[in-house]
Amino acid sequence: MARYDPDRMELSARDRVALANSTEITQGRGGPHSGVFLDISQVSKDRILERLPRMYRQFLEYQMLDISRQPMEVAPTAHYSMGGVVVDPETHVTDVAGLYAAGEVTAGLHGANRLGGNSLAETVVFGRRAGEAAARYSASRDVQLRARQVVGAANDELSGFVRHGRQFARPLQRALRDTMWESCGVVRDDAGLRSGLARVAELRELAREVDVRPTSEGYADLAHALDLRAALVAAEATLLGAVARRESRGAHQRRDFPALSADLLVNFQTRLDADGHLTVDAQPVPLVPPQLKAWVDASEEPSVAGRLLE
Protein backbone atom coordinates (compact mmCIF):
# COMPACT_ATOMS: atom_id res chain seq x y z
CA MET A 1 0.00 0.00 0.00
CA ALA A 2 1.38 3.42 -0.97
CA ARG A 3 1.21 6.33 1.44
CA TYR A 4 1.45 9.95 0.29
CA ASP A 5 5.08 11.07 0.68
CA PRO A 6 6.64 13.98 -1.27
CA ASP A 7 9.94 12.12 -1.46
CA ARG A 8 8.52 8.93 -2.95
CA MET A 9 7.02 7.58 -6.16
CA GLU A 10 3.60 9.25 -5.79
CA LEU A 11 5.00 12.61 -6.91
CA SER A 12 7.27 11.28 -9.64
CA ALA A 13 6.48 11.95 -13.31
CA ARG A 14 3.12 10.56 -14.37
CA ASP A 15 4.57 8.05 -16.82
CA ARG A 16 6.74 6.52 -14.10
CA VAL A 17 3.89 6.33 -11.61
CA ALA A 18 1.63 4.74 -14.24
CA LEU A 19 4.33 2.25 -15.25
CA ALA A 20 5.04 1.28 -11.63
CA ASN A 21 1.32 0.83 -10.90
CA SER A 22 0.77 -1.15 -14.10
CA THR A 23 3.69 -3.43 -13.25
CA GLU A 24 2.24 -4.21 -9.82
CA ILE A 25 -1.16 -4.97 -11.35
CA THR A 26 0.01 -7.08 -14.30
CA GLN A 27 2.35 -9.12 -12.10
CA GLY A 28 -0.55 -10.11 -9.85
CA ARG A 29 -0.02 -7.82 -6.89
CA GLY A 30 -3.10 -5.64 -7.49
CA GLY A 31 -6.09 -5.20 -5.25
CA PRO A 32 -9.52 -6.87 -5.51
CA HIS A 33 -10.53 -4.53 -8.36
CA SER A 34 -7.19 -4.78 -10.21
CA GLY A 35 -5.81 -1.56 -8.79
CA VAL A 36 -3.24 -0.41 -6.27
CA PHE A 37 -3.99 1.31 -2.98
CA LEU A 38 -3.26 4.97 -2.35
CA ASP A 39 -3.49 6.13 1.26
CA ILE A 40 -3.77 9.86 2.07
CA SER A 41 -5.42 9.40 5.46
CA GLN A 42 -2.52 11.15 7.22
CA VAL A 43 -3.56 14.39 5.43
CA SER A 44 -6.22 16.39 7.27
CA LYS A 45 -9.77 16.21 5.96
CA ASP A 46 -9.87 20.00 5.62
CA ARG A 47 -6.77 19.89 3.43
CA ILE A 48 -8.22 17.13 1.26
CA LEU A 49 -11.49 19.05 0.80
CA GLU A 50 -9.48 22.13 -0.13
CA ARG A 51 -7.28 20.42 -2.71
CA LEU A 52 -9.36 17.43 -3.87
CA PRO A 53 -13.04 18.31 -3.27
CA ARG A 54 -14.44 16.54 -6.30
CA MET A 55 -12.40 13.37 -5.76
CA TYR A 56 -13.44 13.25 -2.12
CA ARG A 57 -17.13 13.48 -3.00
CA GLN A 58 -16.85 11.04 -5.91
CA PHE A 59 -15.48 8.33 -3.64
CA LEU A 60 -18.23 9.02 -1.12
CA GLU A 61 -20.94 8.96 -3.77
CA TYR A 62 -19.85 5.93 -5.79
CA GLN A 63 -18.05 3.76 -3.22
CA MET A 64 -19.22 5.09 0.16
CA LEU A 65 -15.53 5.56 0.93
CA ASP A 66 -14.09 8.36 3.04
CA ILE A 67 -10.58 8.83 1.62
CA SER A 68 -9.61 10.95 4.61
CA ARG A 69 -9.88 7.76 6.69
CA GLN A 70 -9.46 4.84 4.28
CA PRO A 71 -7.11 3.99 1.38
CA MET A 72 -8.51 4.22 -2.13
CA GLU A 73 -7.91 1.70 -4.91
CA VAL A 74 -6.60 3.39 -8.05
CA ALA A 75 -5.23 2.37 -11.45
CA PRO A 76 -3.70 4.09 -14.49
CA THR A 77 -6.10 5.36 -17.12
CA ALA A 78 -5.92 7.26 -20.39
CA HIS A 79 -6.62 10.91 -19.62
CA TYR A 80 -4.66 12.95 -22.13
CA SER A 81 -3.48 12.91 -25.73
CA MET A 82 0.11 13.88 -26.55
CA GLY A 83 -0.53 13.62 -30.27
CA GLY A 84 -3.02 15.49 -32.40
CA VAL A 85 -3.58 17.80 -35.33
CA VAL A 86 -0.41 19.21 -36.89
CA VAL A 87 -0.40 23.01 -36.67
CA ASP A 88 1.93 25.90 -37.38
CA PRO A 89 3.54 26.77 -34.02
CA GLU A 90 3.25 30.53 -34.46
CA THR A 91 -0.38 30.75 -35.61
CA HIS A 92 -1.78 27.25 -34.94
CA VAL A 93 -3.30 27.17 -38.40
CA THR A 94 -3.84 23.70 -39.86
CA ASP A 95 -3.31 22.69 -43.48
CA VAL A 96 -6.98 23.61 -44.05
CA ALA A 97 -7.19 27.34 -44.80
CA GLY A 98 -9.17 29.16 -42.13
CA LEU A 99 -9.14 26.24 -39.68
CA TYR A 100 -7.21 26.80 -36.45
CA ALA A 101 -6.69 24.43 -33.55
CA ALA A 102 -5.44 24.79 -29.99
CA GLY A 103 -5.34 22.78 -26.79
CA GLU A 104 -5.21 19.03 -26.38
CA VAL A 105 -6.43 18.48 -29.94
CA THR A 106 -3.06 19.66 -31.29
CA ALA A 107 0.31 17.90 -31.35
CA GLY A 108 3.88 18.77 -30.57
CA LEU A 109 3.89 20.85 -27.41
CA HIS A 110 4.60 18.12 -24.87
CA GLY A 111 6.92 15.79 -26.71
CA ALA A 112 6.83 12.22 -25.41
CA ASN A 113 5.55 12.94 -21.92
CA ARG A 114 3.23 15.64 -20.60
CA LEU A 115 4.12 16.93 -17.17
CA GLY A 116 1.45 18.08 -14.74
CA GLY A 117 0.29 21.66 -15.33
CA ASN A 118 1.73 21.95 -18.83
CA SER A 119 -1.72 21.87 -20.41
CA LEU A 120 -2.24 25.43 -19.18
CA ALA A 121 0.26 26.55 -21.82
CA GLU A 122 -1.92 25.00 -24.52
CA THR A 123 -4.96 27.03 -23.57
CA VAL A 124 -3.48 30.28 -22.25
CA VAL A 125 -0.50 30.74 -24.60
CA PHE A 126 -1.42 28.85 -27.73
CA GLY A 127 -5.14 29.44 -27.44
CA ARG A 128 -4.36 33.15 -27.62
CA ARG A 129 -2.07 32.65 -30.62
CA ALA A 130 -4.75 30.69 -32.45
CA GLY A 131 -7.46 33.21 -31.62
CA GLU A 132 -5.40 36.21 -32.72
CA ALA A 133 -4.34 34.49 -35.95
CA ALA A 134 -7.93 33.45 -36.72
CA ALA A 135 -9.13 37.00 -36.09
CA ARG A 136 -6.48 38.41 -38.44
CA TYR A 137 -7.42 35.90 -41.11
CA SER A 138 -11.11 36.76 -40.81
CA ALA A 139 -10.43 40.51 -40.89
CA SER A 140 -8.37 40.11 -44.06
CA ARG A 141 -11.29 38.61 -45.98
CA ASP A 142 -13.54 40.97 -47.90
CA VAL A 143 -16.28 38.35 -47.92
CA GLN A 144 -16.83 35.08 -46.10
CA LEU A 145 -17.59 32.40 -48.67
CA ARG A 146 -19.66 29.33 -47.99
CA ALA A 147 -19.38 26.36 -50.33
CA ARG A 148 -22.94 25.13 -50.74
CA GLN A 149 -21.75 21.79 -52.09
CA VAL A 150 -19.70 21.20 -48.93
CA VAL A 151 -22.66 22.08 -46.69
CA GLY A 152 -24.91 19.86 -48.76
CA ALA A 153 -22.48 16.94 -48.66
CA ALA A 154 -22.16 17.25 -44.88
CA ASN A 155 -25.93 17.29 -44.50
CA ASP A 156 -26.27 14.22 -46.71
CA GLU A 157 -23.60 12.41 -44.71
CA LEU A 158 -25.33 13.14 -41.41
CA SER A 159 -28.65 12.08 -42.84
CA GLY A 160 -27.03 8.80 -43.90
CA PHE A 161 -26.34 7.97 -40.27
CA VAL A 162 -30.04 7.87 -39.43
CA ARG A 163 -31.09 4.26 -39.92
CA HIS A 164 -32.39 1.17 -38.19
CA GLY A 165 -29.40 -1.01 -37.42
CA ARG A 166 -28.44 -4.17 -35.57
CA GLN A 167 -25.74 -2.55 -33.45
CA PHE A 168 -25.75 0.13 -30.78
CA ALA A 169 -23.03 2.73 -30.38
CA ARG A 170 -22.58 2.55 -26.60
CA PRO A 171 -21.51 -1.14 -26.44
CA LEU A 172 -19.14 -0.58 -29.37
CA GLN A 173 -17.66 2.45 -27.60
CA ARG A 174 -17.06 0.30 -24.53
CA ALA A 175 -15.53 -2.46 -26.64
CA LEU A 176 -13.17 0.05 -28.26
CA ARG A 177 -12.08 1.42 -24.86
CA ASP A 178 -11.42 -2.12 -23.61
CA THR A 179 -9.47 -2.94 -26.77
CA MET A 180 -7.24 0.10 -26.41
CA TRP A 181 -6.59 -0.60 -22.73
CA GLU A 182 -5.72 -4.25 -23.39
CA SER A 183 -3.62 -3.75 -26.53
CA CYS A 184 -2.28 -0.19 -26.23
CA GLY A 185 -2.19 0.48 -22.50
CA VAL A 186 0.70 1.56 -20.31
CA VAL A 187 3.06 -1.11 -21.70
CA ARG A 188 2.77 -2.27 -25.31
CA ASP A 189 4.30 -4.88 -27.60
CA ASP A 190 4.02 -5.69 -31.29
CA ALA A 191 1.70 -8.67 -30.90
CA GLY A 192 -0.74 -6.77 -28.72
CA LEU A 193 -0.73 -3.69 -30.94
CA ARG A 194 -1.44 -5.72 -34.07
CA SER A 195 -4.19 -7.59 -32.26
CA GLY A 196 -5.64 -4.19 -31.38
CA LEU A 197 -5.56 -3.11 -35.03
CA ALA A 198 -7.42 -6.25 -36.06
CA ARG A 199 -10.06 -5.65 -33.39
CA VAL A 200 -10.48 -2.00 -34.41
CA ALA A 201 -11.07 -3.16 -37.99
CA GLU A 202 -13.81 -5.51 -36.72
CA LEU A 203 -15.43 -2.74 -34.69
CA ARG A 204 -15.33 -0.42 -37.71
CA GLU A 205 -17.36 -2.93 -39.70
CA LEU A 206 -19.87 -3.30 -36.87
CA ALA A 207 -20.14 0.48 -36.63
CA ARG A 208 -21.57 0.54 -40.16
CA GLU A 209 -24.73 -1.05 -38.72
CA VAL A 210 -25.22 1.24 -35.73
CA ASP A 211 -28.86 2.03 -34.96
CA VAL A 212 -29.51 5.80 -35.10
CA ARG A 213 -33.00 7.23 -34.87
CA PRO A 214 -34.50 10.41 -33.41
CA THR A 215 -36.40 10.24 -30.14
CA SER A 216 -38.43 12.68 -28.08
CA GLU A 217 -35.11 13.69 -26.47
CA GLY A 218 -33.39 14.48 -29.76
CA TYR A 219 -30.47 12.87 -31.60
CA ALA A 220 -28.41 11.33 -28.78
CA ASP A 221 -27.88 8.22 -30.93
CA LEU A 222 -26.34 10.37 -33.66
CA ALA A 223 -23.95 12.03 -31.22
CA HIS A 224 -22.74 8.63 -30.00
CA ALA A 225 -22.38 7.33 -33.56
CA LEU A 226 -20.27 10.33 -34.58
CA ASP A 227 -18.15 9.99 -31.44
CA LEU A 228 -17.61 6.30 -32.21
CA ARG A 229 -16.51 7.05 -35.78
CA ALA A 230 -13.99 9.63 -34.59
CA ALA A 231 -12.75 7.34 -31.81
CA LEU A 232 -12.13 4.52 -34.28
CA VAL A 233 -9.92 6.80 -36.39
CA ALA A 234 -8.05 8.06 -33.33
CA ALA A 235 -7.58 4.51 -32.06
CA GLU A 236 -6.19 3.25 -35.35
CA ALA A 237 -3.85 6.23 -35.65
CA THR A 238 -2.59 5.65 -32.11
CA LEU A 239 -2.00 1.96 -32.72
CA LEU A 240 -0.20 2.58 -36.02
CA GLY A 241 2.07 5.15 -34.40
CA ALA A 242 2.81 2.79 -31.50
CA VAL A 243 3.69 -0.03 -33.92
CA ALA A 244 6.08 2.24 -35.81
CA ARG A 245 7.81 3.53 -32.67
CA ARG A 246 9.95 0.49 -31.92
CA GLU A 247 11.46 1.92 -28.74
CA SER A 248 10.45 3.18 -25.29
CA ARG A 249 10.27 6.96 -25.00
CA GLY A 250 8.40 9.03 -22.44
CA ALA A 251 4.93 7.64 -21.81
CA HIS A 252 5.29 5.16 -24.72
CA GLN A 253 6.73 1.97 -23.22
CA ARG A 254 7.38 -1.09 -25.38
CA ARG A 255 7.92 -4.41 -23.64
CA ASP A 256 9.76 -5.71 -26.71
CA PHE A 257 11.82 -2.52 -27.20
CA PRO A 258 12.57 -1.17 -23.69
CA ALA A 259 15.40 1.21 -24.71
CA LEU A 260 15.55 4.54 -26.52
CA SER A 261 16.54 4.42 -30.19
CA ALA A 262 18.72 7.17 -31.65
CA ASP A 263 17.22 6.38 -35.06
CA LEU A 264 13.70 7.24 -33.87
CA LEU A 265 14.20 10.88 -32.96
CA VAL A 266 11.23 11.58 -35.24
CA ASN A 267 7.58 12.52 -35.12
CA PHE A 268 5.20 10.03 -36.69
CA GLN A 269 2.40 11.66 -38.69
CA THR A 270 -0.72 9.79 -39.73
CA ARG A 271 -2.71 10.84 -42.79
CA LEU A 272 -5.59 9.59 -44.87
CA ASP A 273 -4.43 8.52 -48.32
CA ALA A 274 -6.45 8.86 -51.53
CA ASP A 275 -8.20 5.56 -50.80
CA GLY A 276 -9.23 6.64 -47.32
CA HIS A 277 -6.66 4.48 -45.51
CA LEU A 278 -4.43 5.74 -42.72
CA THR A 279 -0.71 5.85 -43.51
CA VAL A 280 2.22 6.72 -41.23
CA ASP A 281 5.37 8.60 -42.13
CA ALA A 282 8.27 9.88 -40.03
CA GLN A 283 9.27 13.53 -39.82
CA PRO A 284 12.61 14.54 -38.24
CA VAL A 285 12.37 16.40 -34.95
CA PRO A 286 13.79 19.94 -35.27
CA LEU A 287 17.06 20.53 -33.44
CA VAL A 288 16.82 21.95 -29.93
CA PRO A 289 18.00 25.61 -29.86
CA PRO A 290 21.48 25.96 -28.33
CA GLN A 291 20.20 28.00 -25.37
CA LEU A 292 17.91 25.11 -24.37
CA LYS A 293 20.11 22.12 -25.23
CA ALA A 294 22.00 22.14 -21.91
CA TRP A 295 18.69 21.86 -20.02
CA VAL A 296 17.53 18.99 -22.22
CA ASP A 297 20.80 17.07 -21.87
CA ALA A 298 20.70 17.44 -18.09
CA SER A 299 17.14 16.10 -17.86
CA GLU A 300 17.55 13.03 -20.08
CA GLU A 301 17.60 9.71 -18.24
CA PRO A 302 17.52 6.07 -19.44
CA SER A 303 14.14 4.43 -19.93
CA VAL A 304 12.72 2.90 -16.76
CA ALA A 305 10.73 0.24 -18.64
CA GLY A 306 13.56 -2.29 -18.63
CA ARG A 307 14.12 -2.02 -14.88
CA LEU A 308 10.46 -2.31 -13.94
CA LEU A 309 9.69 -5.11 -16.38
CA GLU A 310 12.60 -7.36 -15.39
In this prediction the pTM is 0.84
Q: What is the 3-state secondary structure (H, E, C) of 57-121?
A: HHHHHHHCCCCCCCCEEECCCCCCCCCCECCCCCCCECCCCCCECCHHHECCCCCCCCCCCCHHH
Q: Which residues contact 236 (CB under 8 A, 6 or more apart)?
A: 197, 200, 278
Q: Which fold has domain 159-310?
A: Methane Monooxygenase Hydroxylase; Chain G, domain 1 (1.20.58)
Q: What is the pLDDT of residue 235?
A: 96
Q: Where are the domains of the chain?
A: 2-74, 82-141, 159-310
Q: What is the pLDDT of residue 82?
A: 81
What whole-number distance in Å separates Cα of residue 206 and Cα of residue 181? 20
What whole-number distance in Å separates Cα of residue 217 and Cα of residue 221? 10
Q: What is the pLDDT of residue 310?
A: 46
Q: What is the pLDDT of residue 290?
A: 86
pLDDT digits (tens, 9 = 90+) for 31-84: 999 899 999 999 999 999 999 999 999 999 999 999 999 999 999 888 777 888
Q: What is the pLDDT of residue 10?
A: 59
Q: What is the pLDDT of residue 108?
A: 74
Q: Which residues contact 80 (CB under 8 A, 6 or more apart)?
A: 104, 114, 119
In DSSP notation, 181-225 reads: HHHSSSEE-HHHHHHHHHHHHHHHHHHTTB-B--BTTBSHHHHHH
Domains 2-74 and 159-310 share a fold: no
Phi first, then psi: what are they for 145, rounded to 5°? -85, 145
Q: What is the pLDDT of residue 144?
A: 77
Length of the chain, please?
310
CB 176 within 8 A of CB 200: yes
End-to-end CA distance of the chain, in Å?
Answer: 21
In the set 3, 14, 170, 177, the catalytic residue is 14
Q: What is the pLDDT of residue 3?
A: 42
Which segments of the chain have a pLDDT < 50?
Answer: 1-7, 303-310
CATH of domain 2-74: 3.90.700.10
Q: What is the pLDDT of residue 301?
A: 52
pLDDT digits (tens, 9 = 90+) for 248-276: 998 899 999 999 999 999 999 999 998 98
Is residue 14 among the annotated active site residues? yes
Q: What is the pLDDT of residue 8?
A: 55
Q: What is the pLDDT of residue 5?
A: 43
